[in-house]
Amino acid sequence: MTLKKITVLLTLGVLVALYVAFDLNRFFSLDYLKHSQQSFEHLYAEQPLKVISLYFVVYVAVTALSFPGAVILTLAGGAIFGLGWGTLIISFASSIGATLAFLMARFVLRDSIEARFGPRLAEFNQGLEKEGAFYLFTLRLVPLVPFFVINLLMGLTHMKVSTYYGVSQLGMLAGTLVYVNAGTQLGQLDSLQGILSPALLGSFVLLGFFPLLARQVASRLQQRQVFARWKHLKPKAFDRNLIVIGGGAGGLVSAYIAAVVKAKVTLVEAHKLGGDCLNYGCVPSKALIKSARVAHQMQHASRYGLSDSTPTFSFKAVMQRVFDVIAAIEPHDSAARYTALGVDVVQGYARIVNPWTVAITRPDGQVQVLTTRAIVIAAGARPFVPPLPGLETVGFLTSDTLWHAFAQLDEIPKRLLVLGGGPMGCELAQSFQRLGAQVTQVDMAQRLMGREDEEVSQIVQASLERDGVQVLTGHQALRCESSTSTSAIRPAGQNFGPGVLITQHLGQEVRLEFDALLCAVGREARLTGYGLEDLGIPTQRTVATNAYLQTIYPNIFAAGDVAGPYQLTHVAAHQAWYATVNALFGEVKKFKVDYTVIPWATFTDPEVARVGLNEQEAREKNIAYELTQFDLADLDRAIADSDAQGFVKVLTVPGKDKILGVTLVGAQAGELLAEYVLAMKHGLGLNKILGTIHTYPTLAEANKYAAGAWKRAHPPKRLLEWAHKYHAWRRGLK
């Protein structure tokens, strides 16, 4: 705690002590007020401005310091100033006082509370950002919740001060009026309890419910409003319960769930079932990574007591294997499989015509129009291509075009430039380097994989550089130019070609020649061309949805890359469950999508896997954590595999074994993470991991050793002292 905070706390303590010592409470009793009413009125008649000012200051001080007495002061206000002036003065004084109390609680407590309960509060704060003003207003209307409690609790949130003040002033007005009015008839008052009769309290509670009710009504009205211009098109009966647009990871899971629960569902895919993941993303990249890893192991076979050898291979065969792998997995996502499961699979381009109608243009040009109760948009994302001058002219590859383009080649391009230092760029840069290309990887950021902790970036960069990749961070791509080399002519029909990328680095222009440029700078959600614009469905970088994955049309949902915020296959599937269940059963019960435990992995060598917070995020969010690290250099299996690089890094709540996040770097990190994902999801701490038998010798033991390292740092001191005494006693010592 800082000196300033300690000073504020001490000052508060002294003021409370003085309040008690001088028994100031006696001035805030109904009897005292009744006795002194006449003299107050007299004083007010003589010096109105002075009395108002003094009253105002005392009122603000009492409410700001959360001292008891605000009720008596309010009655006094009514008695002295009358209903109109009394209400006006008190309305401002109470709001200012409340806001000061709110600020005080924020200054003294918020940081430490956030440091302790940050992850749980983050979600609460997000909700509050959207609806905080509304809930505050409701609380203010019902004087059952003590106002000082509201000030204290709200101070711990991120609500804007101006919002807090404004909403408080408005919300407290009704209560203020009642008490000021009671003050104007002070003579007839026998007790404070009498002011709030059960009937009046009931009215306040009703008043408190009013905004909730009003919101329900407003939400219904809003729904009616978005539907209004389509109302005449609403069918009496529907062809389908659900239409799913897009047959990638999200869409397939959505259609599957709908079919399982016996809904009539149509899945529309414009291109290839399986979407990005199967055809251009996870599957081909992981197949390539495996070939590259084998090649790398051959080159470094001496690590295992064998002779290093330069792998001889046909690049065409490597790429063919990529397509063989896709073909082997394809049946899992095939129309035949989903049809057998009960899904109506349609090949075609879907367009939402109105909230209940989807038009599907089939490959032969025929249009099928289907009506539906609900729609799940799972249209995915496409590679983002930066607006670099000259890029289109020179030609480039993306994850969409890479696989087919390279499958045509006999040789891997000699100089491959990978633009982008994220997970995808790193995985592909390393793999193509290992398969014989000279890869240059360029990123404008100062380090690769910027979402991970700095030491992770360093390990990944070092590993890429060991393999021979030229990693150029801090290089901002400016433009592309045609190559001056005469041999560098783009072959006919090829969508990429040789060229030069000009970057800016430390104020200087740098020229980077390449034979192929792979753009891997991220992917953007597909947001146009299928009806969002016509229906006025808001989009920013993704389709805007609420916590139920609903768009502004309550029967139209979005899941997967098109909905964000993550771009991962398993998150697309996770969201698909929520979108589908809410779409089909939302009238009965809706579920808010849960993003609390989201794992991911980058399949570089070594792999990087993460769930929850890393140090970087914990610091950004000001969340206190304790760090436990176990180095794979000490792990028997990793040593036996000659692969003992990396670590397990666990962040826990200080003093507790509760896991806040884990970063794993090393061989099979993506697999090892699963244990921590399970632990976090089900609230199991490091003690539970430590108490679980792990097979020897496995890499998974690293998780147990990390838990052991945490335990050694938190020994049960008391118990050990007693154990020490017990053993001494057993040896006959005193």
> 178 or 289, CB closer to ligand FAD?
289
| CA separation for the pair 92, 165 (Å, rounded) | 10
Among 77, 155, 183, 251, binds ligand FAD (CB under 6 A): 251
Considering only residues 368 through 397, tell me which ones interact with ligand FAD, judged by CB under 6 A: 378-381
Q: Which is nearer to ligand FAD, 60 or 405 (CB)?
A: 405
Which lies closer to ligand FAD via its Cβ, residue 136 or residue 249?
Answer: 249
CA 263 to chain centroid = 31
Least distance (Å) from ligand FAD to the CB of residue 418? 11
Of 228, 208, 101, nearest to 153 by C-alpha is 101
CB 294, CB 301: distance < 8 Å = no
Name which position in 526, 610, 637, 704 contacts ligand FAD (CB under 6 A).
Answer: 526
**Does residue 226 interact with ligand FAD by CB under 6 A?**
no
Point out which span in 53-61, 143-151, 279-287, 331-339 binds ligand FAD (CB under 6 A).
Answer: 279-287
251 versus 436: smaller Cβ distance to ligand FAD: 251
Sign of CA dihedral 695, 696, 701, 705: positive
Nearest to 343 by CA among 441, 448, 255, 418: 255
Taking the complex as a whole, the smallest distance from the CB of residue 287 to ligand FAD amounts, in Å, to 11
CA 337 – CA 328 distance, rounded (Å)? 14
Residue 399 is a binding residue for ligand FAD (CB under 6 A): yes
* Least Cβ distance, residue 611 to ligand FAD (angstroms): 13
Q: Does the protein bind ligand FAD through residue 86 (CB under 6 A)?
A: no
- Minimum Å distance from CB 353 to ligand FAD? 12
119 is a site residue for ligand FAD (CB under 6 A): no
Choices 196-204, 322-330, 566-574, 633-641; region in contact with ligand FAD by CB under 6 A: 566-574
- Range in contact with ligand FAD (rule: CB under 6 A) among 273-281, 327-335, 435-443, 549-557: 273-281
Q: Which is nearer to ligand FAD, 399 or 463 (CB)?
A: 399
Interatomic CA distance for residues 348 and 346, integer angstroms: 6
x-or-dash string of contact with ligand FAD, 323-352, rule CB under 6 A: --------------------------xx--
The pair of three-digit structure tokens given for residue 446, joined into one six-digit string? 């100062």
Interface segment toward ligand FAD; rule CB under 6 A; list 56-64, 216-224, 470-478, 554-562: 554-562
When asked if residue 246 is in the footprint of ligand FAD (CB under 6 A), the reply is yes
Torsion angle, alpha carbons of 173, 176, 181, 183, to 10: -160
Q: What are phi and psi of 381, to 5 degrees?
A: -140, 165
CB of 567 to ligand FAD, least distance (A): 4
Please state, in angstroms and rounded to a whole number, the distance separating the CA atoms of residues 345 and 335.
6
Angle among Cα 723, 728, 734 to the nearest 5 degrees reads: 120
Residue type (1 letter), 684: L
Q: Name the β-bridge partners of 382.
A: 524
Q: Is 515 in the site for ligand FAD (CB under 6 A)?
A: no
Q: Which residues contact 282 (CB under 8 A, 6 or more apart)?
A: 276, 569
Please tell me the distance from the alpha carbon of residue 77 to that of residue 68, in angstroms, as a whole number. Answer: 16
Q: For residue 377, which of 204, 555, 140 has the smallest C-alpha distance?
A: 555
Say whether residue 245 binds ligand FAD (CB under 6 A).
yes
Sequence-distant (≥ 6) Cβ neighbours of residue 442 within 8 angstroms: 417, 418, 419, 420, 421, 472, 475, 477, 501, 503, 512
Of the two residues 443 and 701, which places its CB atom closer to ligand FAD in the complex? 443
Residue from 150, 249, 370, 707 touching ligand FAD (CB under 6 A): that is 249
Site for ligand FAD in 611-640 (CB under 6 A): none
Ramachandran angles phi, psi of 334, nearest 5° = -80, 160
Answer whether 69's CB lies under 8 Å from 25's CB.
yes
In this structure, which amino acid lies at residue 72?
I
Q: How many residues bind ligand FAD (CB under 6 A)?
A: 36
C-beta closer to ligand FAD: residue 427 or 631? 427
290 is an interface residue for ligand FAD by CB under 6 A: no
Distance CA 598, CA 594 (A): 9
Q: Should residue 424 be labelled a site residue for ligand FAD when binding is judged by CB under 6 A?
A: yes
Residue 215 binding ligand FAD, by CB under 6 A: no
Six-digit token pair at 66? 């959360």
The one among 269, 453, 617, 631 contacting ligand FAD by CB under 6 A = 269
Nearer Cβ to ligand FAD (47/528): 528
Burial of residue 313 (number of CB atoms within 10 Å: 0-12, 13-18, 19+): middle
Q: Which positions from 570 through 609 interact with ligand FAD, judged by CB under 6 A?
A: 570, 572
Which residues here bind ligand FAD, judged by CB under 6 A?
245-251, 268-271, 275-277, 280-282, 285, 349-350, 378-381, 399, 424, 526, 530, 560-562, 567-570, 572
